[in-house]
């Protein structure tokens, strides 16, 4: 009971912008949250980042915290939602890379040695150079994970138009990568 009382007092103080109370809550739950995240993410750096993101959300929403609800449950619910977002984003990114390369990146052993951040950055630069409409449709499909039907409805165009724009965008991206010898990098990644 003393722990709950102390926790409730810390939350009350946190709601009044008390950084020391925030620090105390971090010390109480940071390691537990990290261990929880590590079970799912299996990456120390990703788990550390997740803990930071969760506590940033706590700080940003401190005024709305309720002492009558379990802070621990609230904290771990935020963490679980962040983990879900991480895996959704990862799935969308892998799908995006698979569309570019035509091969399953997840199963390829050489994937670990590639700097995907640089490759994705270059692809993003190419996408930024696409005509506005094609760029918008492509980003909604590949970055936001929306279906052709969803995009067509949202933009009030036909599904065929959406599919054609996506296909054209992929051709432009592949051609640009070929010209820059990044296609060789993709080839080596996919087939070695």
Give the separation between CA 159 and CA 169, rounded to whole angstroms. Answer: 15
> pTM, whole model, 2 decimals?
0.49
112 has a pLDDT exceeding 60: no
- Domain end position, chosen among 89, 118, 133: 89
Tell whether 73 and 15 lie within a shared domain.
yes
Does the residue 59 lie in any domain? yes
- pLDDT class of 147 with cuts at 50, 70, 90: confident
Tell whether 141 and 172 lie within a shared domain.
yes
Token pair 């995009």 in the structure block, residue: 151
Tell whether 115 and 58 lie within a shared domain.
no
Does the residue 94 lie in any domain? no
Q: Smallest Cα–Cα separation from 71: which of 22, 36, 38? A: 22
Does the residue 66 lie in any domain? yes
Q: What's the confidence (pLDDT) of residue 174?
A: 78
Give the separation between CA 135 and CA 138, rounded to whole angstroms. Answer: 5
CA angle 7, 35, 50 (to 5 degrees): 80
Range of the domain at 77: 2-89
Q: Express each pLDDT in 36-72 by its tens digit.
A: 888 878 888 888 999 999 999 999 999 988 877 788 8
Give the separation between CA 102 and CA 96, rounded to whole angstroms. Answer: 10
185 CB contacts (<8 Å, ≥6 apart)?
114, 119
As a residue count, the chain comes to 192
Does the residue 167 lie in any domain? yes
Q: Are 137 and 128 in contact (CB under 8 A)?
A: no
Q: Are 50 and 82 in contact (CB under 8 A)?
A: yes
Tell whether 21 and 57 lie within a shared domain.
yes
Q: Express each pLDDT in 116-142 by its tens digit.
A: 556 667 778 888 999 999 999 988 887
Tell whether 119 and 152 lie within a shared domain.
yes
- Domain end position, chosen among 55, 89, 123: 89
Split into its structural domains, the chain has a count of 2
Tell whether 54 and 126 lie within a shared domain.
no
- pLDDT class of 98 with cuts at 50, 70, 90: low
Tell whether 50 and 85 lie within a shared domain.
yes
């Amino acid at each position: 009971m003393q722990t709950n009382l102390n926790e409730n007092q810390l939350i009350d103080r946190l709601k009044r912008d008390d950084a020391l109370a925030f620090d105390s809550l971090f010390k109480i739950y940071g390691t537990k949250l990290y261990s929880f995240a590590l079970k799912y993410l299996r990456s120390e750096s990703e788990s550390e980042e997740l803990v930071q993101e969760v506590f940033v959300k706590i700080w940003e929403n401190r005024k709305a915290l309720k002492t009558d609800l379990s802070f621990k449950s609230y904290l771990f619910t935020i963490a679980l939602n962040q983990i879900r977002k991480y895996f959704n984003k990862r799935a969308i990114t892998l799908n995006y890379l698979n569309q570019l390369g035509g091969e399953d990146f997840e199963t390829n052993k050489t994937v670990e040695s590639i700097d995907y951040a640089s490759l994705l950055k270059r692809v993003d630069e190419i996408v930024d150079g696409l005509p506005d409409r094609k760029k918008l449709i492509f980003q909604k499909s590949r970055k936001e994970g929306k279906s052709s039907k969803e995009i067509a409805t949202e933009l009030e165009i036909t599904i065929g138009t959406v599919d054609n724009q996506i296909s054209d965008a992929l051709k432009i991206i592949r051609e640009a990568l070929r010209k820059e010898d990044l296609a060789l990098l993709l080839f080596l990644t996919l087939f070695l």
